[in-house]
Amino acid sequence: MKNIVWENLSFGYTKTNHNVRCYYKDGKWGEIEVSSSENIPIHIAATCLHYGQEAFEGLKVFTGKDGKIRTFRWQENHKRMVNSAQGIMMPEIPADIFWEACKKVVELNKEFVPPYGTGASFYLRPLIIGTGPQIGVRPANEYLFLLFGTPVGPYFKEGFKPVNIQIVRDSDRAAPLGMGTYKVGGNYAASLVAGDKVHKNGYAAALYLDAKEKKYIDECGPANFFGIKNNTYITPKSSSILPSITNKSLITLAEDMGLKVERRQVPVEELPSFEECGACGTAAVISPIGSIVDGEKEYVYSKDGNAGPISIKLYEKLVGTQNGDVEDIHNWVSIIE
């Protein structure tokens, strides 16, 4: 067992034993290869370095009370990775390679998979990069699919405690007909300046508005946004946000709980009417939003430093399903071993 204090982990990188790689050459994917190196040799003219031909995913692995190791909806991550790859003209990664890679990385790094009850999980990071050289702006003819894992704690240091966030009005993360629905590295590069600014202002994350009209909520840093009022779960519909698997799951769980669900444009003016708000994603899980600041205005959702009752119920159902405490009625969980 490694000398890791699981409870103290933040969302950071810890070196593990092995990662896996699979190369695409001459129009086909090769065999999965295991590596103990944290480095990759790369051509100086690789398209990922110059033209951002890169897509990634993020999914978590959990240990249950029963000791079993579970993944959550990996098929959805695979589907989204295929979609992201298509969006930047990279080859599709077959589902069997994706799943074998997930299993192998878990099996080879078992001592890094946090035990039940620690609040930590094992985060899998698959990526595809264009490795073939091009100097013209064209897709590469060679690719690398890489998957590594690392134990992580909460994305926001507050964990399941409300965070304060700030609306950004002087930059956009993604354009309406751009790349926002794909999980490609360029979107995250595009968010760094705004992210740094809001952090320096003392906020946990940037809340982006739609790029065209600046009227509607888009998403919240590396997470989707939801608001709750009148027994209704409301989440933005937008052509420039990432289709979050966590949000999709919360929609189903909200319906199971008897809430109404609305996926539609959410005008900024609606913010004061919400009873609860949250940011959701694999890394963020549910991060309750304590307040949203927009210039001089502030909308407060938590006065006592705790999440609201519906967010708590959603969180318990989601996390319980992921670690096996709650019955997996939707068949979302795959047991690795």
Binding residues (CB under 6 A) for ligand PLP: these are 58, 219, 222-224, 242, 244-247, 281-282
The whole-angstrom separation of Cα 137 and Cα 127 is: 21
Give the DSSP H or E segment for 96.
helix 95-108
**Closest distance of CB 200 from ligand PLP, Å:** 21
Q: Taking a C-beta distance cutoff of 8 angstroms, is the pair 102, 59 a contact? A: yes
Residue 136 tokens, joined: 């013209």
Nearer to ligand PLP, 179 or 293 (CB): 179
Residue 241 engages ligand COI in binding (rule: CB under 6 A):
no
Q: Report if residue 287 touches ligand COI, rule: CB under 6 A.
A: no
Segment contacting ligand COI by CB under 6 A, of 137-145, 279-287, 291-299, 315-323: 279-287
* Distance in Å, CB of 191 to ligand PLP, minimum: 8
Contacts of ligand COI in 127-186 (CB under 6 A): none
- Binding-site member from 126, 132, 154, 281 for ligand COI (CB under 6 A): 281
Piece of the chain touching ligand COI by CB under 6 A; list 94-102, 144-152, 173-181, 281-289: 281-289
Question: Cβ 84 to ligand COI, closest distance in Å?
Answer: 11
Contact string (CB under 6 A) for ligand COI, positions 176-205, x = contact? ------------x-----------------
**Positive or negative, the Cα torsion across 25, 26, 27, 32?**
negative
| Residue in 97, 146, 283, 319 binding ligand COI, rule: CB under 6 A | 283
- In this structure, is the dihedral angle defined by the CA atoms of residues 258, 260, 263 and 265, taken in order, positive or negative? negative
Q: Pick the closer one to ligand COI by CB: 57 or 268.
A: 57
What phi, psi does 250 have (nearest 5°)?
-65, -35
Rounded to a whole number of angstroms, the minimum distance from the CB of residue 178 to ligand PLP is 13
By CB under 6 A, tell whether 222 contacts ligand COI. Answer: yes
Residue 183 beta carbon to ligand COI: minimum distance, rounded to whole angstroms: 7
DSSP 93: P
Contact call for residue 282 and ligand COI (CB under 6 A): yes
Is the separation of the CB atoms in 290 and 305 below 8 Å?
yes
Query: What DSSP line would sit under 4-26, residue for residue?
Result: --GGG--S-----S-EEEEEEET
6 vs 188, beta carbon nearer ligand COI: 188
Question: 297: which 2 tokens?
Answer: 């205005």
E runs forming strands in the chain:
19-25, 28-29, 33-35, 54-56, 59-63, 69-72, 121-130, 143-152, 163-168, 205-209, 217-220, 224-229, 232-236, 260-264, 276-281, 285-294, 297-300, 333-335
What residues does 127 pair with on adjacent strands? 56, 146
Residue 283 Cβ, how far from ligand COI at the closest point, in Å?
Answer: 3
| Binding status of residue 58 toward ligand COI by CB under 6 A | yes
Four-residue CA torsion sign, 263, 267, 268, 272: negative
Q: Does the footprint of ligand COI cover residue 324 (CB under 6 A)?
A: no
219 contacts which partner out of ligand PLP, ligand COI, none, CB within 5 to 8 A by kind? ligand PLP
State the residue for tokens 């997930």. 102
Q: Which CB sits closer to ligand PLP, 134 or 265?
A: 265
Give the strand pairing for 205-209 and 163-168. parallel
Question: Which residues sit at the interface with ligand COI, rule CB under 6 A?
Answer: 58, 188, 222, 281-283
